[in-house]
Structures are given as C-alpha cells and as structure tokens.
C-alpha cells in the first residue's frame, strides 16, 4: 500500500522521517527507524480492518508511529517489532472505542453512499465480495485470519498478540478459511 504524500498520513510520515533523520544518533536508532517506516503498510491494513474507515485508520497509524517512537526504549531487541506495533495499534483502537461509545458515525450510510462508485473492473467485484465475506466472519476469526494470512505472523505470535493459545488461533483461522471458501463458491 502506498501512501499519498499530500494526505495527512503522508505529511505525518514525512515529518516523522525528518524527525527520525535528525535523531540518527546510533545504529540501533537507524534500524528502528527503517523497520518502523517499513511496517506502515502492515499497520494501515490492520487499522483499516479494525476501523473500516480510511481517515480513522490513518489517524490510528499516526498514533501508533508516534507512540512507538516516543517509547522506543521499551522495545525489546530480538522480538518482532511488527507484533509490538500491532499491540500499540490495537490498544489505541480499543481505547478510542471506549472513549467514543456514544459516537454513531453516518448510521444511514448516506455520506458513504455519495463517496462510492460502481466497480468498473471485475477484480473490484471480487475484492468487494471478499471484503463482504470477511465482514461477515466473527470478529475473532477475522482478526486471527488477517494476522496470519495478511500480516504474516506465526500462529504463536498471533496467539501472543490476541492473548489465547496457538491452537485456538489455528482453529479460528481454519474455520474462517472454510467459511470464506463456502461463501465465495470455492469449496
């Protein structure tokens, strides 16, 4: 996923890259910087899967990047940075949901309806069908599937991230794949 430099997230990434360049004091910091910027596409996908809103997901990614940079001393070298970043992102999302329980954005979908347009290529229809099938999955199954299939975490890493046994993650991923295959006619 590429980031439009004119977008808010693009501007934040540019400022973050400039701040990181100014702070290049040690090799560890340089590696952290490169890994942090490299994780942005994974963070955007995960944030979008949680929020279903591109603007909110970009805000969530921005929050995650800033928190990670601010607390980089807490990162334990030798562990996977992406899992640590996902934890920050997920906690930020959950904390935001707690704060905005009464918020009901566009309940009738009128605004979203004005922004959408009909698909002009067949693969867009396939993507739409896949997204709809993913949306119908149980949240726990969807989260496990996306962590394993999209973000390339191992079952053990996903289990640690979710906070359940790896067998539970394997079961959720298996059930999610079976349901998607049934719904998309590939079974």
| Number of domain units in the chain | 2
Q: What is the CATH number of the domain that holds 36?
A: 1.10.1740.10
- Residues 6 and 72 placed together within one structural domain of the fold: yes
Kindly report, residue by residue over 74-124, the tens digit of the pLDDT.
Answer: 888 778 889 999 999 999 999 888 777 765 567 677 766 676 665 566 666
Per-residue pLDDT of 54-70, as tens digits, reads 999 999 999 999 999 89
Q: Is 148 a domain residue?
A: yes
What percent of the chain stands above pLDDT 70? 81
Q: What would the mean pLDDT of 150-155 be, rounded to a whole number?
A: 90
Question: DSSP secondary structure string, the chain?
Answer: ----TTSHHHHHHHHHHHHHHHT--SHHHHHHHHHHHHTHHHHHHHHHHHHS-HHHHHHHHHHHHHHHHHTGGGS-TTS-HHHHHHHHHHHHHHHHHHHTTT----TT-HHHHHH-----SHHHHHHHHHHHHHHHS-HHHHHHHIIIIIS---HHHHHHHHTS-HHHHHHHHHHHHHHHHHHTT--
* Residues 96 and 128 reside in one and the same domain: no
pLDDT of res. 19:
76
Regarding whether 141 and 51 lie in a shared domain, the answer is no
Instruction: Please tell me whether residues 93 and 127 are part of one structural domain.
Output: no
Residue 116 forms part of a structural domain: no
* Predicted structure pTM score: 0.44
Do residue 81 and residue 145 come from a single domain?
no
State which residues form the domain around 126: 121-187
Do 88 and 173 lie in a common domain?
no
What is the chain's mean pLDDT, rounded?
83
């Amino acid at each position: 996923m590429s980031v439009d430099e004119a977008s808010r997230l693009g501007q934040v990434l540019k400022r973050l890259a400039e701040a990181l360049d100014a702070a290049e004091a040690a090799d560890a910091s340089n590696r952290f910087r490169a890994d942090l910027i490299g994780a942005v596409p994974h963070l955007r996908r995960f944030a979008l899967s949680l929020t279903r809103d591109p603007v909110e997901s970009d805000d969530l990614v921005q929050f995650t990047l800033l928190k990670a940079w601010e607390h980089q001393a807490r990162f334990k070298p030798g562990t996977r940075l992406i899992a640590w970043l996902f934890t920050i992102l997920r906690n930020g999302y959950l904390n935001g949901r707690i704060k905005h329980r009464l918020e009901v954005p566009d309940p009738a979908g009128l605004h979203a309806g004005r922004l959408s347009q009909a698909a002009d290529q067949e693969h867009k229809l396939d993507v739409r069908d896949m997204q709809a099938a993913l949306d119908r999955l149980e949240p726990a199954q969807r989260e496990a599937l996306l962590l394993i299939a999209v973000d390339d975490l191992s079952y053990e890493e996903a289990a640690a991230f979710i906070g359940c046994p790896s067998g539970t993650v394997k079961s959720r991923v298996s059930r999610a794949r079976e349901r998607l295959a049934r719904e998309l006619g590939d079974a």
